[in-house]
Amino acid sequence: MERLLMLRRWKFSTAAAGLTALLCAAAALPAFAQEADHDAPALILDRPVDTSAFPLFDHGRATPIYVADGDAAPVRTVANAFAADVRAVSGVRPTVVNKVSGEQQMILVGTLGHSAMIDALAHSGQLDTSAIAGQWEAASVSIVDHPLPGVARALVIAGSDPRGAAFALFGLSRAIGVSPWSWWADVPIAHHTSAAIMQQHFVQPPPAVQYRGIFINDEDWGIRPWAAKKMDPQLRNIGPHTYARVFELLLRLHANTLWPAMHPGTMPFHAVPENAKLAAEWGIVMGSSHSEALLRDNVGEWDEGRDGPWNYQINRDAIDRYWDKGLEVNGQYENFYTVGMRGQHDTGLEATGSNEVKAQLVEQAIADQRAILARRVNPDLAKIPQVIWLYKESIDLYRVGMKVPDDVTLGWTDDNFGYIRQLPDAEERARSGGSALYYHVSYWGTPHDYLWLCSTPPALMREELTKAWDHGVRKLWILNVGDLKPAESDIEYFLRMAWQEPSFRDVSQPDYLQSWYTAQFGGQGTAMASLMDHWYQLTFLRKPEFMGFNGYDDAVQRTAFNPLAWGDQNQQMMAAWQQLAAESRSLAEKIKPDQRDAFFELVAYPVEASSAHALKFLWTDRSYLAQHGRDFAAVDHDSVEAKAAYDRVQSLTADYNQLAGGKWDGMMSSHPRDRRVFEMPETATVLATAPLQLPGDWRAPKNSASSETSEQGFVEQNGTISINAAHFAARKDMPQAAWEIWPDLGLDLGLDLSLNRSRSGGSVSIAGPGAASPAAWTQMEKRAEAIAQTPSLRYDFTTSTSGEATASIYLLPSFPVDSSQRLRYALSIDGGAPIVLDAAGAEAHQAGLSPWAANVLRNAMVQIVPLGSLTPGKHTLVLYYGDPGVVFQHIMVSFPGAAPAYPFAPETIGKGSTVAAASGSR
């Protein structure tokens, strides 16, 4: 079938209609073709073309590829990978040669300054390299007539550096239909008879973030057992066969950096010399985690029995020798070095004294490390990429005055749950070393692990990564991906942001998912994208790993979904999860046989396994509810259903490990770290002689008043008024601070998951997270009239109850954007004086957990504000902007006796009223 692919470097439009039309048109294209536009020139498949086009392959003949012997190793490595891609698509493999032998047409690949052929073409004026000369990882792709004696025409791929050329080649791979995930997620490759370049000249610009990569971490239950069994059995561990596949994936995703696996039991990366050599052959920059200075894997390489204590106060010389020995071998490669010091393995600094004393100790360690770097790598330290990670206790040392050399990159981090702790202020942004970001979509630690599935929504990443970019964090981005699978789409989203900012920020979560799943699956990708968008909605309410409603103590509890109010929240959640799983099974029947493995990995397993996992807890809850009501038949039924859901997770996991003829055996675990949340919970029993006590958050409203009148808009129901923050009645913007809606981000209780529905709401913040607080704010606490100069959001509602009321303000659990800001805002009711609030003081609502821990488990921090006595009638609540970084999710006004709800009551909309779905510039 003839298909025309006009692939140009377009920026995703913010106009929903235009983007939707483009995506619908792309649905019929081969895998990844519609995403290749930012990587490759215009290309045509399976269609005769005029003589101006340049053929990559045509009916059994593939154009040879020339790479000069003197060029960098990654250029030849990727040229051979590209040749294999052409064979996978066309059935014929182009030869990769180092001599020109009179071919009429050739693909010439090389690097400026490394390839004499490329330099000669540029010098003669036959090749325009002005746009890429001196750039980082840029490339040009040009059709050139008579570039060399005996060659009539050539497609010349010139990289500003070796990775620039490599990315250009892999951009062509995408354009001809080879997904970066063709090996790692078994995405099939469609056959084509011909492919030709239509565009005479194309420029691949440099990336937005200079270094971009991933961290394989907490690998004990996935990639390590899998690699030991399927990839590197001779090592019984992660080794060069595994890493070669990882390196290739990174380049296909236009990434350039890897932090290797380093958990106890994993063979240190540099213990196998072939690993570092392979990294160099693929052009991958190696780094190491926040606790591993100068590439040393402390857990696997430091032996306290042999080397002494890991304490720089008392064992400085031995630790310096240890660092020096590592760089004696590995300093020859391209690396990004972590400096500074923490405990031996992701623990606090092993030292005594105050934070000021510890800060001085780390300063000394950095000075000694830089002396080693100068000796082993380059005397000019400014030319050596170095980063200190301000992670956990390290940021506390930095805050008390720890001095960091100006050329050392400051590494900022999230809180392990997707919320960035701090970003550089104006002075820090001016440092020559720049700033880096370390971000998680997988984590082992308090208040609870999330190592099983990857449920961090792209919408949250978008808001946080945009904030980082706007604060000048552009030197290095690293994503903790756990076992790499099943984080495929999140990995690509993160790396696309790092490659394409600031244009990529305008791509919404639904549009990204539409593009990504259509790229992998073609026509069924639209339905899959909608399904996964709704999956992120449900898992944002509660990650699968958090469904035990417990903290780090592993004491699994009943869920907080109240079955006694709000239409039975337990039943609503069950219905939503059951519907999602049913949609997945329905889609599975429609996809092609060669797509089934990829579909199971990228859609069916995360959806259906998390559905069964949630139903395990929800049916268990119902067994307790039934026992309380002495309905013993229901107790038995609900217990059987809970056990069936548990068994379903086990069978789905077994299926995953047998995919593709057992290719992934060992990759997926149904019980990472053997946390109790993955066990079969104890259901209620008919043997109990008395009704079981129900959880305190399972109760009906004491006040059942509701506005069943003709009142429109938001009204009181069951003693509560509930409003999504994006559903304001009016907004007031100021010239330097306008409100912005994030329609896909936030806790969303619109659980009608039909695939064609819109979301019920979103979140609201001030646009431009780099903006300063309004000038009026500094006077707000002294002069209430200054509030009139501040941006605001107005919410109107009607009550039918008299009494003392409280407002619960649900915010995204973010942090002040930098050290010069706070998280202030203000609230007023019915025109009264504004109440000044600071989100840093949001209290916990879950016993035994710190405020921060409770916040990240429910993806919200909640501030409860007394409103005084309200009378029946109309009321107005106004929120005022105070500091950047405050993101409003939801507002609830409650009277005494209101029924609990998790995370809040559904929107209380008057009979016959409608509320428009959130929309906005994001």
Same domain, 18 and 131: yes
- Tell me whether strands 435-440 and 409-413 are parallel, antiparallel or unpaired: parallel
Three-state secondary-structure class, residue 191: coil
Residue 828 has pLDDT above 90, yes or no: yes
Last residue of a domain, one of 625, 650, 678: 678
pLDDT band at 100 (very low <50, low <70, confident <90, very high): confident
Longest dimension (CA), the chain: 95
Domain assignment present for 708? no
Neighbours of 606 (CB within 10 A): 23
pLDDT for position 33: 35
Neighbours of 44 (CB within 10 A): 21
Instruction: Please give the C-alpha separations between residue 366 and each of 291, 362, 370, 379, 897, in angstroms, as whole numbers.
Output: 13, 6, 6, 15, 58
- Mean pLDDT to the nearest integer, 407-425: 96
Per-residue model confidence as pLDDT tens digits over 875-909: 999 999 988 999 999 999 999 999 999 999 999 99
Three-state secondary-structure class, residue 412: strand
Which phi and psi angles does 282 have, rounded to 5°? -90, -10
Closest C-alpha among 494, 492, 461 to residue 477: 494
Per-residue model confidence as pLDDT tens digits over 781-814: 545 566 667 899 999 999 999 999 999 999 999 9
Separation CA 549–CA 294 (nearest Å): 40
Separation CA 776–CA 783 (nearest Å): 9
Separation CA 301–CA 345 (nearest Å): 11
CB 39 within 8 A of CB 174: yes
- With a CB cutoff of 8 Å and minimum separation 6, the contacts of 1 are 46
Domain assignment present for 77? yes
Same domain, 229 and 359: yes
Domain assignment present for 701? no
* Residue 912: Cβ-neighbour burial (10 angstroms; 0-12, 13-18, 19+): exposed
Half-sphere exposure of 337 (CA within 13 A, CB side): 32
Separation CA 345–CA 288 (nearest Å): 12
Separation CA 601–CA 185 (nearest Å): 7
Residue with token string 């006077």: 779
Separation CA 779–CA 795 (nearest Å): 24
- Tell me whether strands 43-45 and 194-197 are parallel, antiparallel or unpaired: antiparallel
Per-residue model confidence as pLDDT tens digits over 302-340: 999 999 999 999 999 999 999 999 999 999 999 999 999
Domain assignment present for 523? no
Same domain, 200 and 222: no
pLDDT for position 773: 62
pLDDT band at 845 (very low <50, low <70, confident <90, very high): low
Query: Residue 722 forms beta bridges with which residues?
Result: 892
Query: Mean pLDDT over all residues of the chain?
Result: 90
Closest C-alpha among 887, 904, 646 to residue 750: 904
Same domain, 622 and 758: no
Last residue of a domain, one of 204, 226, 241: 204
Residue 242 has pLDDT above 60, yes or no: yes
- Mean pLDDT to the nearest integer, 102-126: 94
- With a CB cutoff of 8 Å and minimum separation 6, the contacts of 832 are none
Separation CA 317–CA 297 (nearest Å): 18
Residue 26 has pLDDT above 90, yes or no: no
Domain assignment present for 705? no
Between 665 and 882, where is the model more confident?
665
CB 595 within 8 A of CB 521: yes
903: cis peptide before it, omega within 30°? yes
* Residue 622: Cβ-neighbour burial (10 angstroms; 0-12, 13-18, 19+): buried
Tell me the angle at which helices 509-521 and 458-470 cross, rounded to the nearest 10 degrees.
Answer: 120
Tell me the angle at which helices 273-282 and 73-90 cross, rounded to the nearest 10 degrees.
Answer: 70
Same domain, 229 and 100: no
Closest C-alpha among 335, 295, 344 to residue 315: 344
The helix or strand, by DSSP H or E, that contains position 344, with its residue range, turns out to be none
- With a CB cutoff of 8 Å and minimum separation 6, the contacts of 635 are 623, 626, 627, 683, 684, 685, 686
Same domain, 615 and 488: no
Query: Which residues form the domain of 62?
Result: 3-204
Same domain, 618 and 596: yes
Residue 922 has pLDDT above 80, yes or no: no
Instruction: Please give the C-alpha separations between residue 472 and each of 137, 322, 423, in angstroms, as whole numbers.
Output: 20, 34, 9
Alpha helices for 222-297 (secondary structure H): 223-226, 240-252, 273-282
- Tokens standing for 346? 């992701």
pLDDT band at 157 (very low <50, low <70, confident <90, very high): very high
Same domain, 197 and 215: no
Alpha helices for 331-429 (secondary structure H): 355-376, 393-399, 426-429
Residue 919 has pLDDT above 70, yes or no: no
Per-residue model confidence as pLDDT tens digits over 170-219: 999 999 999 999 999 999 999 999 999 999 999 999 999 999 999 999 99
CATH number at residue 50: 3.30.379.10
- Tokens standing for 268? 């240190």
CATH number at residue 390: 3.20.20.520
Separation CA 613–CA 677 (nearest Å): 9
Closest C-alpha among 599, 381, 379, 521 to residue 31: 521
Same domain, 198 and 221: no
pLDDT for position 34: 36
Between 736 and 162, where is the model more confident?
162
Residue 759 has pLDDT above 70, yes or no: no
Same domain, 10 and 65: yes
DSSP 729: S
pLDDT for position 39: 72
Sheet strands side by side (includes 151-159): 96-97, 65-67, 105-111, 151-159, 139-148, 201-204
- Tell me whether strands 285-286 and 3-5 are parallel, antiparallel or unpaired: unpaired
CB 227 within 8 A of CB 239: yes
Separation CA 143–CA 149 (nearest Å): 16
Last residue of a domain, one of 186, 204, 222: 204
pLDDT band at 7 (very low <50, low <70, confident <90, very high): very low
Closest C-alpha among 783, 869, 799, 794 to residue 833: 783
Closest C-alpha among 744, 813, 887 to residue 415: 813
Residue with token string 């561990």: 237
Sequence length of the chain is: 922
pLDDT for position 36: 40
Separation CA 798–CA 707 (nearest Å): 8
Same domain, 228 and 123: no
pLDDT for position 3: 32
Same domain, 25 and 114: yes
Domain assignment present for 833? yes
Separation CA 268–CA 235 (nearest Å): 12
Separation CA 202–CA 142 (nearest Å): 6
Domain assignment present for 521? no
CB 902 within 8 A of CB 717: no
CB 299 within 8 A of CB 263: yes
Three-state secondary-structure class, residue 881: strand
Q: What's the domain count of the chain? A: 4
Domain assignment present for 692? no
* Residue 673: Cβ-neighbour burial (10 angstroms; 0-12, 13-18, 19+): middle
Q: What torsion do the CA atoms of 247, 252, 253, 254 make, to the nearest 10 degrees?
A: 90
pLDDT band at 28 (very low <50, low <70, confident <90, very high): very low
Give percent of the chain above pLDDT 70.
Answer: 90
pLDDT for position 126: 96
- Tokens standing for 491? 């990995």
pLDDT band at 761 (very low <50, low <70, confident <90, very high): confident
Separation CA 462–CA 505 (nearest Å): 6
Residue 12 has pLDDT above 80, yes or no: no
- Mean pLDDT to the nearest integer, 739-745: 93
